[in-house]
Chains A and B, each alone.
Chain A
Amino acid sequence: MGPVTHRTYFELGDDDRSALGEQVGRQRARVVDRLREVKRVVAVISGKGGVGKSFVTAALARSLVRREAQIGVLDADLQSPTVARLLGAAGPLHVTDDAVAPALGTDGVRVVSTDLLLDDGRPLTWRSGAGESHVWRGAAESSVLREFLADVAWGALDVLFIDMPPDAGRLTDLATLLPSKLAAIAVTIPSEESARSVHRALTAARDTGVPVVGIIENMSGYACGTCDTIGPLFTGDAGSRLSAAFDVPLLARIPFAPRGGGMTWLPGAVVDAVLHPGNGA
């Protein structure tokens, strides 16, 4: 039997009953509908782990709540969720007809995180016995992220913070789901290594068209609890260098304060920069 010539997909005039493209389109429309009352979405990015990104996300959320803003936090670090605990949020999550109510943190921050779904000490795993999970795991994580956006009753928010995982690629997923409204804040520590990783994350944001509100340098010195001074902790000036390289403001330097452990309040200028971007704060 020789080669068979036949019509191709676009040459067949009848509908594609599966209409997978339309199904995906409806999923994205659901995200947009759900976030209609959310004024802005701010992804907290770093490009590397261990810089205190979740700590800074929690500090941002609580600092804005003190200004009576309505704040939500979506923990997109699905594999290593920590921000729910930092905000004092706990499950279970209540399911209604068309949405899941977010958990409430101690300050009233609305929170959703895989930390609320997983057994203590257990990693994120999937029920599927399909195997070859490397093929579909990334898509599964994207679907969870999409559902956290689309199916949680976020309500009216001034800002929805998204605590991003260390890898820069997830920001692209987010930008696909939220072509408008999305901005980013980058968190770094002063070191050269951090500067290089955060540089990549900022480049990804720029390439994806996500505007960057600014940079926060965490662990920027050591705040002595007894003599009230700030001493050196890491060498380097990543915050200043990244600020200059990407022409975005260095919003704050947060010293490491072991006794402060619970909470850091961010300066009013940072709160203003997040609530009112573009005002030169």
Chain B
Amino acid sequence: MKFLCIDCDSQMTFDERQQPGDGTFTASFTCPRCGRRVAMLANPMETQLVSTLGVEIGGRTLDEQPLEFTRSAVAGRDDAFVDEHSLNASRAPRPSWSGDAEARLAKVPSFVRGMVKKIYSDYARERSIPEITPDVMDRAREELGLEGM
């Protein structure tokens, strides 16, 4: 799929894809010459058809996950799948917190501190890290994209 700015006779470049949550999706494009922007708006049926094919307009940004379409599209049992990572994480011992790490966690606003602590704990469990230190927190922030935590 390509978009052409007819006035400039230039191929428009893909900007971004958005899914507003109402079953539709939007893809926007810009003309590199005149800067004109257009958005392609797909209705729910068209969005579903694209999703069903397992492809993404604008290209894939993440690797396809195992049974990605099946798991998201088939209405079935809640317990049909067990995620080995979650299973291993729940079996792994709870990591300890170093003093420095606890001091840093204390700076997180109290209303989100519990959630942030759980994110770091899960990160450490999944990687069999026995102690959470500021270094571990930095690594988690970088890998998980947790800026500001």
Using a CB–CB cutoff of 8 Å, the interface residues on chain A facing chain B are 4, 6-7, 9, 12-14, 16-20, 23-24, 27, 30, 91-100, 114, 116-119, 122, 124-132, 135-136, 139-140, 143-144, 146-148, 151-152
**Could you mark each residue 18-44 of chain B with 1 if its beta carbon is under 8 Å from any beta carbon of chain A, else 0?**
000001000000000000000000001
A136 touches B67 (CB 8 A): no
Q: How far is the CA of A118 from the CA of B77 in the complex (A)?
A: 5
Nearest to B80 among chain A residues (CB) is: A117
Nearest to B5 among chain A residues (CB) is: A6
Q: Apart from A17-B58, A129-B44, A143-B54, list 14 A-B contacts with CB within 8 A.
A: A6-B6, A12-B4, A16-B1, A20-B1, A20-B57, A23-B59, A27-B54, A27-B64, A92-B81, A93-B80, A114-B76, A118-B74, A140-B69, A148-B70
The interface on chain B, measured as residues whose beta carbon lies within 8 A of the other chain's beta carbons, has a size of 44
Give the distance to chain A from B8, nearest Cβ to Cβ, in Å.
Answer: 11
B56 touches A6 (CB 8 A): no
Q: How far is the CA of A163 from the CA of B72 in the complex (A)?
A: 24
Give the distance to chain B from A11, nearest Cβ to Cβ, in Å.
Answer: 9
Instruction: Using A27-B54, A128-B48 as known contacts, say yes or no to A95 and B67 having CB atoms under 8 A apart.
Output: yes
A140 touches B52 (CB 8 A): yes
B74 touches A144 (CB 8 A): yes
Using a CB–CB cutoff of 8 Å, the interface residues on chain B facing chain A are 1-2, 4, 6, 9, 11, 13-14, 23, 44-45, 47-49, 51-60, 64, 66-70, 72-77, 79-85, 87
Chain A residues in 8 Å Cβ range of B2: 9, 12, 14, 16
Among A12, A30, A98, A119, point to the contact of B76 (Cβ < 8 A): A119
A17 touches B44 (CB 8 A): no
Q: How far is the CA of A216 from the CA of B20 in the complex (A)?
A: 53
B66 touches A118 (CB 8 A): no
Nearest to A98 among chain B residues (CB) is: B66
Q: How far is the CA of A128 from the CA of B76 in the complex (A)?
A: 13
Chain B residues in 8 Å Cβ range of A144: 69-70, 73-74
A95 touches B49 (CB 8 A): no
Chain A residues in 8 Å Cβ range of B47: 130
- Could you name 6 residue pairs across A and B whose Cβ atoms are closer than 8 Å? A12-B2, A125-B75, A127-B74, A131-B45, A140-B69, A143-B52
A116 touches B80 (CB 8 A): yes
A20 touches B52 (CB 8 A): no
Instruction: Using A20-B1, A94-B84, A132-B45 as known contacts, say yes or no to A127 and B66 having CB atoms under 8 A apart.
Output: no
Instruction: Using A7-B9, A117-B80 as known contacts, say yes or no to A128 and B73 having CB atoms under 8 A apart.
Output: yes
Q: How far is the CA of A14 from the CA of B9 in the complex (A)?
A: 12
Chain B residues in 8 Å Cβ range of A129: 23, 44
Among B9, B66, B70, point to the contact of A96 (Cβ < 8 A): B66
Nearest to B55 among chain A residues (CB) is: A23
B82 touches A93 (CB 8 A): yes
Chain A residues in 8 Å Cβ range of B58: 17-18
Instruction: Using A14-B11, A93-B82 as known contacts, say yes or no to A146 and B77 having CB atoms under 8 A apart.
Output: no
Chain A residues in 8 Å Cβ range of B68: 147, 151
Chain A residues in 8 Å Cβ range of B60: 23
Chain A residues in 8 Å Cβ range of B51: 128
